[in-house]
Amino acid sequence: MAQSELARRIDVKPQAIQYLCSPKAQGSSHNARISNVLQINPQWLETGEGSMHFSDNSNPDAPDSPSRPAIIPVPVFSWDQADKVNESKPSAETWVDPEYATYESFGLKMRGDSMADSTLLTIPNGAIIVVDPRESAIENAVTSPDADEGTRVVVKLGEDVVCRTIKREAGKLYLTPRKQTYDSITFDPQKHRILGVVTIAVLSTISRNIK
C-alpha cells in the first residue's frame, strides 16, 4: 500500500507517514489504526519486537510468527468515572471486545455529536471509544509529530470530561471538536488534564453485561 493511501485511510497528511517510516520516529498514537489497516502485528509496530505478520493458524506449515492476539475485553465506564479509572478501579457492567486494546484500556459511550462528521474518523453519538490511559500514549499525543496532525483524546475540562482532538498549530496546542458548531480552546496543562488517547471507536458492536 502506498504511503499516500495509508495516510488517506487514517486521515493524516502523507508527511506524517513519511516521518513514521524514518529512523527518527519514536512511536505514534496512530499505531492502532495503522496496524488495523495494514493487518500487521501492533506489538511489532509499536516496539519492533516479534514478527511483523500474524501466522495463519489454519495452516500447520505456516512460518513461526505470532497468532493474532486474543481479544482483550474492555470495560465501559460512565463519563463521571473516567478520571477515577486509575484511582478507584470502578466496576463496569458493560464490556466490549474491540479489535485492538491494551490491558489498561477502558471504554466510554460517546455522548453528543461534537466528534461526528462525514469522514472515516467520525465518532457519532452512542459509539464506544476505547481509551489508552498510559502515560507513554499521552506523552506521544502532545510531544510527538502526531500533535501536528491531531490526536483524539479524552480530557478533563474543569468538572467536565469530553472527547476532543488535540492539535498543535503555531507552537500552541488546541482542543478541537470535529463538528464546526463547537468551539476550540487552547490546551492549558494547568487547567486541563488528558486522561487518555482514543485508539479506536467501535461504531457498532454487541456489548455484554457482566452479572
- CB–CB of 115/179 below 8 Å? yes
Mean pLDDT of the chain: 79
Using a cut of 0.85, tell me whether the model's pTM lies above it: no
Question: How far is Cα 135 from Cα 200, in angstroms, rounded to an integer?
Answer: 17
List the chain domain ranges: 74-209
Work out the average pLDDT over 49-72.
55
Among 5-9, 51-55, 107-111, the minimum mean pLDDT is found in 51-55
- CB–CB of 165/198 below 8 Å? no
Asked if residue 91 has pLDDT above 90, the reply is: no
Greater model confidence, 207 or 113 = 113
- CB–CB of 141/199 below 8 Å? no
Asked if residue 48 has pLDDT above 80, the reply is: no
Q: At CA 153, angle to CA 129 and CA 4, rounded to 5? A: 90
What is 74-209's CATH superfamily?
Umud Fragment, subunit A (2.10.109.10)
- CB–CB of 39/69 below 8 Å? no
Q: Give residue-wise pLDDT tens across range 2-46.
A: 877 777 776 677 777 777 777 776 666 667 667 767 777 766 776
Asked if residue 123 has pLDDT above 60, the reply is: yes
The single residue listed with the C-alpha cell 476550540 is 184
